[in-house]
Amino acid sequence: MTATADVAADAAHGDEGARAIVHRTRGSTHGPITRLVSPGDLGEFLKPFVFLDLFGFRPSAGHQGFGMHPHSGIATLTYMIEGATAYEDTTGQQGVLPAGGVEWMRAGNGVWHTGQPLDDAPVRGFQLWVALPAALENAPAQSMYLAPSQVPQEGPVRVLLGRYGAARSAIAAPASMNYLAVRLKDGERWRYAPPAGHTVAWVALNAGRLGAGDRAGGSIDTGELAVFEESGAPIDFVAEGDTAFVLGSAAKHPHDLVMGRYSVHTSDAALRQGEDEIQRIGLRLRGEGRLGR
């Protein structure tokens, strides 16, 4: 069924079989960053989605972006909603990520990266961390940067990871998961039918208000993240005003979350290996004058 048909057919389904919202949060805000999910809280229930930041700032107000910093054991996906950033990472890539673009960084055994705004225009976006399976958590780092035209779309959905209808992301995600950016006009209805096995599901709004039905738990507001009960049932939405949000669904990550400051692994040994590699790369960067001493 196409996205257009999904939207049209949804009106006939009403509230039957609504998938309940089991948790809501506005996260914690520190300056320009609102942390909606972290590995020590909702990340344990939403894994493989273990971290989500909604960031927004105006560089002229004193925030100059995100300095060079490390990761291991995870993959990060940064989705630019507004503004543009210059990126660089220790896999050797650098360039510009515009609004609508996607940065995918599979940190694996260890990587450092940075993003800096190009000018004084406002910058907004989401950064997601995905827990990697044991086979990939200490693999060589890989990165991919997609221009807006390279992010596939079907109906109101842009596919950041996974697939929706005939649209499939060019990014090879490490497990069965979808990460979608959705825009609905006021009054528009949309039904999301997750693939088989995708029992984890959540949405986070960056604009507007999203009705999920009385049985589901009512409306979801801008800046709010809602977690749905674990099941394979579809989720019905209606936009209350023009609305934009991201949605994640996946098969549950079966491993423990073993955490470092910038890392999430499946075991203490894997974490130590990743942190050793982070330190090794950091020493090289300092020697090159690319980090503070």
Q: pLDDT of 181-217, one tens digit each?
A: 999 999 999 999 999 999 999 999 999 999 986 666 7
* Beta-carbon contacts of residue 57 (< 8 Å; ≥ 6 apart): 31, 32, 63, 122, 123
- The burial class, CB within 10 Å (0-12 / 13-18 / 19+), for 204 is buried
Query: Quick one: pLDDT at residue 45?
Result: 95
pLDDT above 90 for 54:
yes
Percent of the chain with pLDDT over 90: 76
Q: Mean per-residue pLDDT for 166-178?
A: 93
Q: What is the mean pLDDT of the chain?
A: 89
138 vs 6, higher pLDDT: 138
Task: Enter the pTM of the model.
Answer: 0.90
Closest CA to 53 of 71, 74, 73, 79: 79
pLDDT above 60 for 4:
no
Q: For the chain, where are the alpha helices, taking DSSP H only?
A: 3-13, 43-46, 268-287
C-alpha distance from residue 257 to each of 38, 195, 197 (Å) = 11, 25, 21
What is the number of other CB atoms lying within 10 angstroms of the CB of residue 12?
9
Q: Rounded distance, CA 83 to CA 59, Å?
A: 10
Query: Quick one: pLDDT at residue 268?
Result: 97
List the structure tokens of 112: 């450092």
Query: Quick one: pLDDT at residue 118?
Result: 82
Confidence of residue 293 (pLDDT cuts 50, 70, 90): very low
Residue 103: φ, ψ to 5°: -110, 125
Of 2-11, 34-43, 214-223, 241-250, the one with minimum mean pLDDT is 2-11
pLDDT above 70 for 292:
no
Of 129-133, 173-177, 180-184, 200-204, the one with minimum mean pLDDT is 173-177
Determine the length of the chain: 293
Confidence of residue 32 (pLDDT cuts 50, 70, 90): confident
pLDDT above 80 for 239:
yes
Residue 164: φ, ψ to 5°: -145, 120
Query: Quick one: pLDDT at residue 171?
Result: 96
Q: Rounded distance, CA 134 to CA 109, Å?
A: 11
Condensed to tens digits (0 to 9), the pLDDT of residues 82-127 reads 999 999 999 999 999 999 999 999 999 999 999 888 888 889 999 9
Q: Mean per-residue pLDDT for 45-49?
A: 97
SS3 274: helix
Query: Quick one: pLDDT at residue 11?
Result: 34
Query: Quick one: pLDDT at residue 2?
Result: 36
